[in-house]
Amino acid sequence: DVKVTQSSRYLVKRTGEKVFLECVQDMDHENMFWYRQDPGLGLRLIYFSYDVKMKEKGDIPEGYSVSREKKERFSLILESASTNQTSMYLCASTRDRGLYEQYFGPGTRLTVT
Amino acid sequence: QQQVKQSPQSLIVQKGGISIINCAYENTAFDYFPWYQQFPGKGPALLIAIRPDVSEKKEGRFTISFNKSAKQFSLHIMDSQPGDSATYFCAAETPPGNQFYFGTGTSLTVIP
């Protein structure tokens, strides 16, 4: 059974803190993605990666960075958390480029106070 | 700018009825149109998908209708059940591959 896991289900951080969200997939997938999900806005792509040490900006990369040191792990970093980054964060992976299903993790609900 | 526009935002249907969710897009380069289903506390999961060379795809009670000329596609859920209550997202993918654009989601409630 394919699996994408995220390090935390719920996270509460203070404004200005550095925040790490971790995602691990066990399917040997090439591509990994970070989205944020907000009511009325759907899923918006933050960053994605086609290969180890590669990263591409999505639609809303401002205030975020990513790291992919190993194929199975993709980290999202909030360098200095702000209240407008309070959101649900979803990690996903796909086998390769092309018409492949995205497999999502359960999400991390981040609250920045 | 929303690349994929989805409506309605919420939908209430009686058990046994038909649920219809619509999506529209502008970018004719999109070449893959999946629908994802999300239950509370879970990540989205692929429900059904279609390519633009096909006008309809059916899997059980779920059907995608695709109108390439109108740049619209829709999800039909026949014989809707309370277990179908979830949030549904349409999406579109651009070549060379794998950047997905999602709609804003539709919260479906099926009343027993």
Domain residue limits, chain A: 4-112
Interface probe, candidates B94, B100, B107, chain A, greatest A C-beta count within 10 A: B100
How far apart, in Å, do the first and last CA atoms of chain B sit? 37
Residue owning tokens 């918006």: A44
Q: Per-residue pLDDT tens for B15-47?
A: 999 999 999 999 998 989 999 999 999 999 999
Smallest Cα distance from A10 to chain B, Å:
11
Q: Per-residue pLDDT tens for B52-72?
A: 899 999 999 999 999 999 999
**pLDDT on residue A95:** 85
Check if the beta carbon of residue A60 is closer than 8 Å to that of residue A80.
no
The number of angstroms, rounded, from the C-alpha of B49 to the middle of its chain's C-alpha atoms is 8
How confident is residue B95, by pLDDT bands cut at 50, 70 and 90?
Answer: confident
Q: Which residues contact B61 (CB under 8 A, 6 or more apart)?
A: B77, B78, B79, B80
Is B44 close to A90, i.e. CB distance below 8 A? yes
Q: Per-residue pLDDT tens for A44-92?
A: 999 999 889 889 999 999 999 999 999 999 999 999 999 999 999 999 9
Establish how many alpha carbons lie within 13 A of residue A31's alpha carbon, considering only the half-sphere containing its beta carbon: 20
Report the distance separating Cα B95 and Cα A88, nearest Å: 27
Secondary structure percentages of chain A, helix, strand, coil, to 5: 5, 55, 45
How confident is residue B99, by pLDDT bands cut at 50, 70 and 90?
Answer: confident
For residue A5, the chain B residue with the least C-alpha distance is: B43
Q: Domain with B55 in it: what CATH number?
A: 2.60.40.10
Q: Which option is the CATH number for A4-112: 2.60.40.10, 3.30.420.140, 3.30.750.24, 2.70.70.10?
A: 2.60.40.10
For residue A60, the chain B residue with the least C-alpha distance is: B1
Q: Per-residue pLDDT tens for A4-57?
A: 999 999 999 999 999 999 999 999 999 999 999 999 899 999 999 988 988 999
Print the domain residue range for B44: 4-111
Residue owning tokens 């106070």: A113
Report the distance separating Cα B109 and Cα B13, nearest Å: 6
pLDDT score of A96 more than 80: no
**What is the number of structural domains in chain B?**
1
For residue A100, the chain B residue with the least C-alpha distance is: B98
Report the distance separating Cα A106 and Cα A91, nearest Å: 8
pLDDT score of B98 more than 70: no
Q: Which residues contact A94 (CB under 8 A, 6 or more apart)?
A: A29, A30, A31, A33, A100, A101, A102, A103, B98
